[in-house]
Each structure stands twice: as C-alpha cells, then as structure tokens.
Structure 1
Amino acid sequence: MTDFPPLKNDLLLRAARGEETERAPVWVMRQAGRYLPEFREVRKSHEFFEVCRTPALATEVTVQPIRRYSGLLDASIIFSDILVVPQALGMEVQMKEGTGPHFPDPLVTPADIEKLSKVVNIQKELGYVFDAITMTRHALKGEVPLIGFCGAPWTLFAYMIEGGGSKTLQKAKSWLFKYPEESKQLLIRIADVCVDFLVGQVKAGAQVIRFLKLPFILGPHLEIQLLQIFDSWAGELAPHHFLEFSFPTLQHISTGVRQKLAVEGVPIVPMTLFAKGANHALPLLAQKSGYDTLGIDWCVDPAEARRLVGDKVALQGNLDPNLLYGGRDAIEREVKRMSEAFKGGKAPKAWIANLGHGITPGVDPEDLRWFFECVHKYSAAK
C-alpha cells in the first residue's frame, strides 16, 4: 500500500455515492488534451502512445489542467487511451495526426480472433498505466481524486474490426449480424481484460486516509479513485441490439470488478458508465447495470433523465461541448439552465457537472475556465 498525501477535496466522491453536495463537482472528459497549449508543447517531441506509456509524461499531462484550473476542478483523470486494451490483446494501434487511431491489421473474420493473445498479463502489458496512476496520486498532492477508466467492450470491439473510427460502423455491425455467437464471445473476452485492467488501476491508486461512513463498507476504507467506462458508440446500436450485445458486457464489468476487489480485500470503488447515445436504456442501466453514476449526453434533458432513473444513481453531464465555442454569454446561460434542470425533481439530486462528451481541441482554455466558474456559481445549493 502506498502512502499518498491526504485528500483535500472529496466532493466528487460524495456525489458519486449519491449524496446531495453543497455544489456540483465538475470535471470534463478529455480535460488533459489538445486544447491546452502546455499539452501541445509536450506532444511536439513525444508521440501520443509514447506519452501514454511513459509514466512521467502521463503524470505531467494529467496534472496540467489541475495546475491551470486549481480550485475550480474537482477531479483529474489519468492520461491514457481506451485503445490500450486492444494493444494489450496483441493488436497494433497507431495514432495518426489529423485522422485519429489506425489499426494496420484489423479483425476481418472470426478466424482473425486467433491472432489475439489468449492470456493477457495485465501487469506486463499495462503496468505503465498503473505506474502513472501511482505517480500521479503523489503529484496531485491530494488536491482532487484521480479517475481511472477504460473503454466499453462494444466500443473497443468496433475499433478492432473497423480498423479506426467510422461513421457507419458497417464492418462491426456486420459481425454482430453475421457472427452473433462469435461476436458475443469476443465481447466477453474483451470485458475480462477490462475487468483486470480496472482492478489494477484501483490497486495502483489505493490510499489509506480516514474512516468514511459508508453503509456498505465496514471498517477502514481505502480512499481510491473512481472508475469510468466509456461506451462511446453505444448509441449506434438499436435498442434491442444494445440489450443483446453491449449491456451484458457492461454488467460483466461492474460485477467482475466488484467481485475481484472484494476477494483481494479492496473496498468498493464508485463506478460511472457513460453510454453515449443510449438514453433509451437509462431506466435499465439505473436498475440493473451495477454502476453508481450514469453519464448522459446533451440529447436528453437532465430532469427527464432523473425521472427515468429515479433515485437509483447519481447523474453526470451534460453540456453540449460545442457550447464552449458559443461565447461566454451562451456558456453562462446554458450552465444555468443545466444546473436548474439537474437540481429539479425528486431527491436525491446528486449530480456531477460535465460535458455531454469530450472537450474538443479548438476550445479556448479561458472559455473552459468560465464554464467551471459558472458551474460553481449556478450549481450551488440554495
């Protein structure tokens, strides 16, 4: 166990446990990224995956937004990429400037599954992420919690078959329809790697700080980072296909992580699921997915999302990222509207302010600062 600095800001942890907080904690997806000039400076001399694989570099870029927005951000998220899981399975992934991820040798037919590693040594393949997490916990000096993450199996599956990003996901969907059983087996195989990866992240960031009064944990609690699962392409599936192919793997991850942590004597970690575009599934996800927080995109009203999920989970979201280009009056107006929508309705009103997807590269960092300041102002409990 590593002796980390005491945590000074537990706002996000309390919200993720369903507590109504004095204001909404706030962070944004991709907050360590290309919109920051200091990040671009690092990238001038280091390839993308080199940054991911070098703990000192990953730590530096993870801490950059915390340093710039000190006192305004309530969480950091480790700098990595969802595609390190396909890499751990033995696939080559390149990050091409201007075009994004590229798989030189994608999976074409189920026979290609034989190319994947049958056994994945998580420590060997992804230990650099764990080292970065441990290093980052020290670098944060307890200012905010650290979030670990991975991609959801369906999203990773799609990348592995498409060979990169896709507007139609024609190849990946064809697999589901032509080879449904083989697809399900591959999805669960990816999910198993995700479970081990997430458990490793938790163990890398474990810290004994103090006793927390949690009804589901007895004795000393290890104050540890949260986990988020990104199902970025969930909304590309029809509701019945989401239920058949994606949902079981999301359940598999939440159950598997909790079971493995329990066996190893590590306390429960708050887990967030962001299934972008799958707003049709919010009631199901709240009732049966096993996640503490559900992220929502900008295509559902927060009050409606709260009505759909009831009092089962905390909510996270959901400003349209493009509003950050709309000027400060628009940002303030929409943050006020969003805050009122999240705070309305039935208790509990636990929510975490965020964007409805990741921040994009052209955003002015000072406009993002204004977003944070508006959240502080308008999300405060009356």
Structure 2
Amino acid sequence: MTHNLQNDLLVRAAFSRPTERPPVWMMRQAGRFMKEYWDIKNRYSFLEMCKTPEIAADVTMLPVDLLGIDAAILFSDILVTAEAMGGQLSFEQGVGPQFANPVRSRSDAEALQTDVVHKLQYVAEAIKVVKHRLQGSIPLIGFAGAPFTVLSYLVEGGSSKDFKRTKLLLHNEPELAHLILQKIADVTVDYLNMQISAGVDALQLFDSWALALAWDDYEAFAHRYNAYIFSKIDRGGVPVISFCKGSSVFAPLMATAKPDVVSVDWNADLRHVKDGLPEGIAVQGNLDPFVLYADKKVIKAKILQLFERMRGTDGFIFNLGHGIMPDIPFDNVRYAIDIVKEFRY
C-alpha cells in the first residue's frame, strides 16, 4: 500500500524506520474528556454515533482538529463485531456495554454468526468519510477487539471485575471456549480486511482484558487467536499494532504473533521491553495516563524522561499505557502532545 501521507511519522515508526521524533496519538483521544465530544454525545446514543458514518467521522476528527495529533483512530467500539454476530448490545450511562443475550451454552455459541461483514459496512463508510476529510495529512488507524476480550463481554454479559464466568468457561469447557474464540477470530479477520480495503493506514488489535489471564491461559485462549488474525489479514504495507493490558508481562509472547508494534502498559520499563523484542518490532506507549492529571512541569518531566530512556532506538510510538480518563483536563492532554511535538532526537 502507498500511504502518500504528509505526516507519516506513525507509519515509519511502526515499521521501525528512523523518525526525527516519536509520533504521538493517545488511546481514547476522541472521547469524554472533550467538551466537543459531549456536544455530539448529548444528541445521539453511543451506537448511533458508531453506526452513522458522518457522526463517527466528526468524532474521529475532534483530536485531529483540536489536539494536532500524528494519527487519527476511527471512532467505533470493540464490540461491534460481537453485535454483528448476534449479540444484543446496548450501552447504559454509568454501566457500560451490556449484552441482553449472553453466551452461556453450546447452543448459544453455535448460534453466533460468522458471515457478518456486510453488517459492518457502516465502519467502511466511516473510514472513507474520514480519509476524505484527512486529505492525506496524517494516517488513520482502524481497530478491532481481540477474540478473548470480545468473548469475555459475550460470556459475562457486559463488563466484569473478576471474569469469573469467563474463567469457568475456559477451565471447565475449553472446547466450547475455543469454538467461540475461533468464530470471533474469523469475523475479526474479515472485519480488519474490510478496513484495509476501505483505506486505513494502520490497525490496532485491542486485547483489553488479557491481563486477567495466567500465562498458559493467555497463550491458549488469547495469543493463539491473535496470532491467527495477524497471519490472515492482508497487511499489504499496513502496520499492525498489538495492544493488551498485561503487555508488560506478555510482550515476548505477543511478539511471536508477528505484529509490527507491541503496545506496552505502564507497568514495564519500555526500553527493557524493546531491547527484549526481536529486531524490527516497534513499541508503543507507555506513559501512565494518571500523569496527565499532574502539574504541567510533572507531565513534561515524565515525557522527557521516557524519551531519554528510548533515545537511540528506532521503532517507538508515544502513547499512554491505556486510554485517557474522562476527567483528565483537556488542556493537560494538549500540553502533553505539544511537548512530544517539540522534541527532537
């Protein structure tokens, strides 16, 4: 794929090519910490925002216009694949995503559909609208939820603190878990290939709840399916980022799935992780998002400390260890991005 981007820092860094400074984008960069987001959110439901290409594009563009980041990430949700497969998905303020029909039995699992990419065309349409608006200025990142994380929502019926039902499924009915995971993985391959065809410049796979798993269970029920997805998508010059909370532990295993980038949470020394990965695998991260609540002099010092730690390495994308929290001051986020953009190696 030819990107033809005016600012291709993210793509270069993702492929471990030299950059004059680290590129910057932030998970949840188009979100609840922005007044402008609420101006839109107060008029539409969350799923309406995701499913209406023009609105999804409006939200995607907020951090582009207001923060000047180096990459846009499509406004959507990791659970749209589960909904397309037959999950009855809703979002409730203060509760989060919920499935009215959780997957609890073999018949539930067998009812999950896999030929569903046509139901997700609104995402392809949103990508095309955003690409038109970006006019090649910066890359657009597409994404999907990883199979284990999507399974956990389907099985629990929503968010969970302890993943008890999910772990019982893995331990007591592993064959059933694998049936569900393979279905989600196949849908995810189709979904990501659709996004590539629609024009995304990079992809991220979000395994948000992998940190709930022991090493052997991560390998069997998460890593195996992420590796399958990475092996099946038609990358064609589109770099792939692998993210999970828990990457500080799982990074060596994540790298064997052959992503271009491993996104690292804030519990690890990023240079130590980078030095332990195979040549040519970039890292993304890993500022603790809570730093963005702090005084500006602290934000600056923490970012520059990370940059000094990473000096002399190719393949480094600046990001947070996880997403921006809703009540982080907008001005602090903008300040952090400005600090990154002023830096030079």
Query: The TM-score by the shorter chain falls in which range?
Result: over 0.9
Amino acid at match of 1:41: D
Structure 1 counterpart of 2:220: 244
Contact 2:280 2:315 in 1 (8 A): no
Task: Specify every segment of 5 or more residues in structure 1 that has no aligned partner in the other structure, as ranges.
Answer: 206-223, 262-266
Residue 101 of structure 2 corresponds to residue 105 of structure 1 = yes
Structure 2 counterpart of 1:121: 116
**For the residues of structure 2 that align with 1:169 and 1:5, how far apart are their CA atoms?**
40
Alignment match of 2:127 (pick from 105, 128, 133)? 133
Q: Give, in angstroms, the shift of residue 114 of structure 1.
A: 2.9
After the TM superposition, which residues 58-73 of structure 1 pair with which residues of structure 2 at under 5 Å, given as runs? 58-70=56-68, 73=69
Contact 1:88 1:120 in 2 (8 A): no
Alignment match of 2:290 (pick from 298, 311, 322)? 322
- Please report the RMSD computed on the Cα atoms of aligned residues, expressed in angstroms: 1.6
Structure 1 counterpart of 2:37: 39
Q: Give, in angstroms, the shift of residue 201 of structure 1.
A: 0.3
Residue 274 of structure 2 corresponds to residue 306 of structure 1 = yes
Corresponding residue pairs, total:
345
Work out the percentage of aligned pairs sharing the same amino acid. Answer: 39
After the TM superposition, which residues 190-269 of structure 1 pair with which residues of structure 2 at under 5 Å, given as runs? 190-205=184-199, 224-258=200-234, 267-269=236-238
Contact 1:254 1:289 in 2 (8 A): yes
Contact 1:5 1:141 in 2 (8 A): no
SS of aligned partner of 1:25: coil
Alignment match of 1:181 (pick from 175, 184, 198)? 175
Residue 241 of structure 2 corresponds to residue 272 of structure 1 = yes
Amino acid at match of 2:5: L
**For the residues of structure 2 that align with 1:5 and 1:343, how far apart are their CA atoms?**
27
Q: 1:374 to 1:90 in 2, by over 3 A?
A: same
SS of aligned partner of 1:268: coil
Amino acid at match of 1:146: L
**For the residues of structure 1 that align with 2:106 and 2:35, how far apart are their CA atoms?**
43
Q: Give, in angstroms, the shift of residue 306 of structure 1.
A: 1.4
Amino acid at match of 1:372: I
Q: Give, in angstroms, the shift of residue 191 of structure 1.
A: 0.4
* TM-score for both structures, normalised by structure 1: 0.87
Alignment match of 1:148 (pick from 129, 142, 153)? 142
Q: Give, in angstroms, the shift of residue 151 of structure 1.
A: 0.4
Amino acid at match of 2:282: A
Q: Give, in angstroms, the shift of residue 341 of structure 1.
A: 1.6
Q: Give, in angstroms, the shift of residue 373 of structure 1.
A: 1.4
Q: Give, in angstroms, the shift of residue 112 of structure 1.
A: 1.5
After TM superposition, the runs of 4+ consecutive aligned structure 1 residues lying more than 2 A away are 4-7, 278-281
**For the residues of structure 2 that align with 1:5 and 1:196, how far apart are their CA atoms?**
22
**For the residues of structure 2 that align with 1:342 and 1:174, how far apart are their CA atoms?**
41
**For the residues of structure 2 that align with 1:349 and 1:8, how far apart are their CA atoms?**
20
Q: Give, in angstroms, the shift of residue 5 of structure 1.
A: 10
Task: Specify every segment of 5 or more residues in structure 2 that has no aligned partner in the other structure, as ranges.
Answer: none
Structure 1 counterpart of 2:327: 362
Q: 1:304 to 1:47 in 2, by over 3 A?
A: same
* TM-score for both structures, normalised by structure 2: 0.96
**For the residues of structure 1 that align with 2:3 and 2:282, how far apart are their CA atoms?**
27
Q: Give, in angstroms, the shift of residue 181 of structure 1.
A: 1.3
